[in-house]
Structure 1
Amino acid sequence: MSYDDKPGRPAVAVIGLGQMGARLAQAFLAAGYRTTVWNRTVAKADALVAQGAVRAASAAEAVGAAPLAVVCLTGYHAVRDVLATSTLQGRTVVNLASGAPDEARDLAAWVSGHGAAYLDGAAMSGTRLVGRREALFIFSGSADAFAEHQGVLASLGNAVHLGADPALASLYDGALFGLAWGTLAGFYHAVALVAAEGVVATGFVSVATSHMPFVTSLMTEHARQIQDGRYPDDDGTVDVHAAAMAHLLHASAAAGIRTDVPELFTNLLERASAAGHGADGVASTITTLSKGAAA
C-alpha cells in the first residue's frame, strides 16, 4: 500500500513500538493522522491496531505507507539495519533513537544518499507527557522537511527545530540529560538531608519546586555572563559559594548521609578558585569545564 493510495487524512508511519514508540503512535492517532505501525515483535502492534492504526507486514511496507516515517529504535545502527530494505526516495525519516552526534551525521548522510530528507530528534520529556503541549521534542536536520511536517510533529508536543546540522538534536539530548540529572542529584541529596531530620519528601517538594523559578532565572542570567565572558558577583562569588557548600558538607556528614553530591560541587568551586576566580561571580565556574580548561 502506498500513501498515495488513500487520499484524505495525512499519513505517518511509526517504526519501533517500544514504550516510547507506542506513545508516539497513540499521539498521532489522537491527532487524527492515518498511522501505520510496524514492530519486529508483531504483537506489540495489537493494541494500536485496536485504536485504529494500520499494521504493516514489514518496515519497508510501513515506510511506503506514508511520506513521514518516525523511527524509534534502540540505536542508530538499528535504524540503518531496519531501513536497509526500504525505498526511502522522496520520504522524510525522523530518527528518535539516542546516540552520539557523529552517529547522527553519519545516519543523515546515509538517509540522504537514499534520496530521503532526514531529521534527527529526541524526546526530552519521557513518555508520560507525549501528546501534550508541555512535552519537549527537539529536532535538527533538514529545515525544509521540518517545515513540511511540523504540524504532524507538533501533535507529539512542543516541536522545536534547532538547526540544519543533524547532530544538534543529539548534542542537546546529552546536554539536557546531564542538566536534568544534575538537578535530580541535587534534589535527591536534599531529600536525604531533610529526611534525616524527619521531613518527608512530599512535604519538602512543595518548597523545593517554589524555589526552582529562581534557579532557572539564574540559568538565564548566567548564560548571558558566560556569553559575554564577564562574571559579576551579584549572585555571590565563587569563594562565598564554596563557604556555603562547606556548611552543606558538614550538615550532610553530621546527618550521616553520603556527601558525594556536595563533594562534586565543592570540587568545581575549588577548581574555579584555584584558577583565579575566587572573587568572581559563581558563573565563572564554567571556565574550569570548558574545552581547553586545565585538568
Structure 2
Amino acid sequence: MNNTTDTPINVIGLGRMGQALAGAFLKAGHPTTVWNRTASKADQLVAAGAQLAPTVGDALTAGSLTIICVTDYPAMYELLGAGDVALDGTTLVNLTSGDSAQARDAARWAEERGARYLDGAIMAIPQVIGTDQAVILHSGPQQDFEAHRSTLDALGTVTHLGADHGLASLYDVAGLAMMWSVLNAWLQGTALLRTAGVDAATYAPFAQQIAAGVAEWLPGYAEQIDSGSFPAEVSALETDAAAMAHLIEESEAAGVNTELPKLIKAMADRSIAAGHGGEQYPVLIEEFGRSRES
C-alpha cells in the first residue's frame, strides 16, 4: 500500500473495529487522535502513540480527516450533533453500519454543517484491518475520496463506488446476500449428503468447485440482465425448474428441509407462467426485482 504519513487522523468510536482502524493508521505512521465514550478503550492505542482527546469536539480539531465507527447512525448524530462540536472544514468518513437511506440523509446532514462526507462499509473482520484482505467500500464525491485515498489505503483495499452516498451500504447488503446464499446452498447440500453418511468436510471441496464454476457465469449473465435479453445459451428456465423439482423430491425423501428449494421453485414457476420458460436463468431478475406484494 502506498500512503503518505503526514495526514493527522481522528478516529471516533473505539469498539473492536474502531480500535483496529486507529491501530492501522498508527502502524502506517499517521498522527492519530482518538475519542471514545469509555476512555479506557483507548489505553492500548495511547500506549502505541495515539493522542486521547478529552471530548469529541477536541478530536475534530486535531485533524481534517475524521473516521467515525460507532453503533449506529443515531449514535453518530448524538455525538456529532452536540452544540460544542464543529464539523466545518472536516472530511467525515462514516464507517458505521446502516442502510442506504441513512447514508444519504447523513450526507445531507453533514454537508449542511460544513463537512465533506463519505459513507463507507467495512467488508472485513477487525483482525485483518490494515491488510489487503480488508475491503473498505466508499461512496460520495470522488474528489473527496481521491483527496484522502493515500491515507485511507492504510486500512486495506479501498474502493470508491460512485457519487451516490448510498452505494456503499447497498454493496454491503448485496455482498451479504451473496454470502448467505452460497452458505445456505452449501448447507442444503450438506444436509442431503449427511443422510448418506457423507460428512461436511468431504463435501466441502466439491461444493467449492461448483461455487467457483457458477461464479464464472456471472459476467455473461450480467450482460443478459443489462441488455434485457435472455437467450437460452446454456439451458432454459423450464429445464432448471425440473431440476429444482428433483432437488425438492430428493430432500423430502431424505427428510431434509425443503423451504429454500421450494421458495426458488415458486419464483421460477411464476416466471414460467409469465411466458419466460424458454429463456435463460437470469430472467428471474424480474422476480427478484419486485416485491412479493406486487
Among candidates 22, 27, 31, match of residue 28 of structure 2: 31
Distance 1:129 1:200, change over 3 A: farther
Tell me how far apart the structure 2 counterparts of residues 55 and 168 of structure 1 sit (CA, whole Å). 32
What do residues 225-282 of structure 1 show as CA deviations (whole Å, max 9, x unaligned)?
0001111212321111111111211222222221122122212211211111111001
* Deviation at residue 202 of structure 1 after TM alignment: 2.4
Paired AA for residue 194 in structure 1: L
2:126 is paired with a residue whose SS is coil
Say if 2:285 is the partner of 1:286: yes
Q: 1:129 to 1:208 in 2, by over 3 A?
A: farther
Unaligned runs of 5+ in 1: 1-7
Superposition deviation, residue 19 in structure 1:
2.1
- Mapping of residues 120-139 of structure 1, within 5 Å: 120-139=119-138
Alignment gaps of 5+ in structure 2: none
The residue that corresponds to 1:167 in the other structure is 166
- C-alpha distance in structure 1 between counterparts of 2:263 and 2:127, whole Å: 31
2:38 counterpart residue number: 41
Q: Distance in 2 between matches of 1:50 and 1:260?
A: 53
Are 2:204 and 1:202 equivalent residues in the alignment?
no
CA distance in 1, matches of 2:266, 2:128: 36
Q: Pick which of 253-262 and 280-289 moved more.
A: 253-262
Counterpart in 2 of 1:231?
A: 230
Listed one character per residue, the Cα deviations across residues 65-103 of structure 1 (whole Å, up to 9, x for unaligned) are 121111111221211111123221111001111222222
1:73 matches 2:70: yes
User: Over aligned residue pairs, what C-alpha RMSD do you find?
Assistant: 1.9
Letter in 1 for 2:210: H
Letter in 2 for 1:285: L
**In structure 1, how many angstroms separate the alpha carbons of the residues matched to 2:205 and 2:174?**
27
Task: Give distance in 1, aligned partners of 2:52 and 2:22.
Answer: 12
Letter in 1 for 2:156: G
Deviation at 1:293, TM superposition (A): 8.5
Distance 1:59 1:197, change over 3 A: farther
Report the Cα offset of residue 30 of structure 1: 2.2
Bigger mean CA offset, 147-156 vs 125-134? 125-134
Between the aligned partners of 1:292 and 1:139, the Cα distance in structure 2 is: 28
Q: Distance in 2 between matches of 1:203 and 1:229?
A: 40
Shift of 1:52: 2.5
Is 2:190 the partner of 1:191?
Answer: yes
What is the letter of the counterpart of residue 128 of structure 2? L
Distance (Å, rounded) in 1 between the aligned partners of 2:228 and 2:293: 17
Residue 218 (structure 2) pairs with residue 219 (structure 1): yes
CA distance in structure 2 between the aligned counterparts of 1:170 and 1:217, rounded to whole angstroms: 25
Q: Give the whole-Å Cα distance in 2 for the aligned partners of 1:125 and 1:251.
A: 37
Q: 1:294 to 1:76 in 2, by over 3 A?
A: closer
- Cross-structure match for 1:181: 180
Length-normalised TM-score, structure 2: 0.91
Q: Which range moves more in the overlay, 276-285 or 132-141?
A: 132-141
Q: Match for residue 55 of structure 1?
A: 52
- Paired amino acid for 2:42: A
Secondary structure, counterpart of 2:158 in structure 1:
strand
Distance 2:145 2:210 in 1: 36
Superposed counterparts of 1:147-162, under 5 Å: 147-162=146-161
Which residue of 2 is the match for residue 115 of structure 1?
114
Matches of 2:254 and 2:53, distance apart in 1:
58
Letter in 2 for 1:187: W
